[in-house]
Amino acid sequence: MNASNINVRFFDVVLCVSRALDLLSPHLSDHHLRTAYVAARLAEEIGLSVVEKQDVVIAGALHDVGALSTTYRLALQDYAVGDQLENIHVHGMEGYLLLREFPPFTRAAEAIRYHHVEWNNERGSEFNGEPVPLASHILHLADRIAVLPESGVHILQQCDNIRRKIVDGVHLRFHPRVVSAFDAVSLSEAFWLDVVSQHKEEIIRERFGQHNVVLDLDELYELARLFGRIIDFRSPFTAIHSSMVAARAERIAQLLGVDTYRTKIIGIAGFLHDLGKLAVPTEILDKPERLTREEMFIVKQHPYYTHRILSTVPGLEEVNAFASLHHERLDGQGYPFRRSEIPLEARIIAAADVFTAVSEHRPYRSGMTRTAALALLDQFVSGGALDGEVVAVVRAHFGDLIRMSQP
C-alpha cells in the first residue's frame, strides 16, 4: 500500500469535527454547522471570494472549539446574555491559538479570535488595538442567529421575529453590512429551512464545497494532529494524551516492522482515537471523585462516538477501524463492539493508550511507577485484553517510550 491510497477530502473532515463539537448536549442542536451555514450565506451575499467563503465556513464550523465546559457552552446559547458573559473573548482567543497552528486554518483562526466583538457604532472595527476582520463580524451575527430558533416551534412561524430582532440591532450589536446581507438572504423560506435542516452538512458541502480538496497523507496527518490537540485541550489531565498515544503507537509500529505508510495511518488513528470524548462534558472528565454509574456510561460511549463521527468521512474507513477499536479486548469483552478480531494496528493503539494512560496523572490518581505500569500491562495480557507481542515491545523499549515527547 502507498500514499496514493488515501483519498480524504479536507472539508469532509472539518465538517465531521464540527458535528462532533455539538455532541456534548442535545441543547446545542447543531450550533456549529448552523453558524457555518449562516456565515457562508452572509459571506456569499456580501460578495466574498470562493476562498474567503471557505475560510468563513471553516471558522463557523469550529468557532467555539475554545469553549471548554458544558455549562459555559450552554450559556453561550442564550441570545440575550451570550455576548455579555464574563470573559466572553477568552474562548475566541483559545480557539485562535489552537487553530492557527495549522496553516490552512490561519484566516479562519483570525476570524474566530474576535467573534463576539459588538459593532457598537463602529467602535467594534477594532479590539485591543487590533482591527477586527469583517469575517469576525459575519461570524458574530451568524452565531447569534444560530441560537435564536426555538425548538418545538416551526421555524417559519419564528423567522419574522428573528429578522426583526436582528435588523433592530443594527449599529449596536452587528456590523451594518452584515445586517443588510442578512436582511436579503433571510427573506426566503429556503434559508430558514436550511438553518434547521438535518442535512446541513450536505447542503454546506454542495453549496460551498468548491475547494473540497483531496488531502495527501501528510496533510491528513497534520489535520489529525490538530484535532488531537483540540480533543486534548479540554482537560488538563489529558493535555497531550492523544499526541502521546499517536507518537507511541507509531514508535511501537516501527519496532514491529510495520511499513511507513501504515505507521502514518496508525499515527492519524492515534490522534483521533478519543474524538468521541468531545461528547463527554469536561465536568465529568475532570471530576476528582469516583464517577457515578451514569457518568461512567457517558465516558464509556466515547469510542462508539469516535466510530460514528469518523464513519461520516469517505476515505477514513481504515483510520476509523484502527481508532474506534481501542477499548476492545482480544477476548471479546471490550467495548463498545465486543469484537475479538482486532487488527494489529488497533492492538498497537490499544497498548499505546493503556501505556500512556498509566503514565499520566489523572484527577483521581498520580502516574504509575515503571514496575507498577509493567505489572499492569502484563495483567492486561494474561487477562486477555492486550496483545502479548505488542506489549513485549513496550516492555523492551519502556524507557524510550516513556521519554518520548509529543510529535
Residue 1 CB, nearest approach to Fe ion (Å):
26
Written as nine digits, the cell of 164 is 426583526
> Residue 52 and residue 43: Cα distance in Å, rounded?
8
CB nearer to Fe ion: give 215 or 285. 285
Q: Find the part of the chain contacting Fe ion (CB under 5 A) among 21-29, 98-106, 200-208, 268-276.
A: 268-276
CB nearer to Fe ion: give 74 or 184. 74
Residue 60 CB, nearest approach to Fe ion (Å):
9
Angle, CA 220 vertex, CA 358 and CA 22 arms, to 5°: 70
- Residue 159 CA, distance from chain mean position: 30
Residue 159 CB, nearest approach to Fe ion (Å):
20
> Residue 348 and residue 343: Cα distance in Å, rounded?
9
CB nearer to Fe ion: give 22 or 143. 143
Question: Can residue 64 be called a binding residue for Fe ion (CB under 5 A)?
Answer: yes
> Residue 357 and residue 244: Cα distance in Å, rounded?
10
Q: Find the part of the chain contacting Fe ion (CB under 5 A) among 126-134, 143-151, 199-207, 377-385.
A: 143-151
Dihedral angle of Cα 394, 400, 401, 402, to the nearest 10 degrees: 120
Q: Total residues at the site for Fe ion (CB under 5 A)?
A: 3
Residue 286 CB, nearest approach to Fe ion (Å):
16
Count Cβ atoms below 10 Å from residue 150 Cβ, excluding itself: 11
- 333-370 burial: b if 16+ Cβ within 10 Å, else e: ebebeebeebebbbbbbbbbbbbbbbbbeeeeeeebee
Using CB under 5 A, pick the residue from 12, 22, 45, 143 that binds Fe ion: 143
Question: Can residue 94 be called a binding residue for Fe ion (CB under 5 A)?
Answer: no
Residue 76 CB, nearest approach to Fe ion (Å):
5
Residue 7 CB, nearest approach to Fe ion (Å):
27
CB nearer to Fe ion: give 143 or 194. 143
Residues that bind Fe ion (CB under 5 A): 64, 143, 274
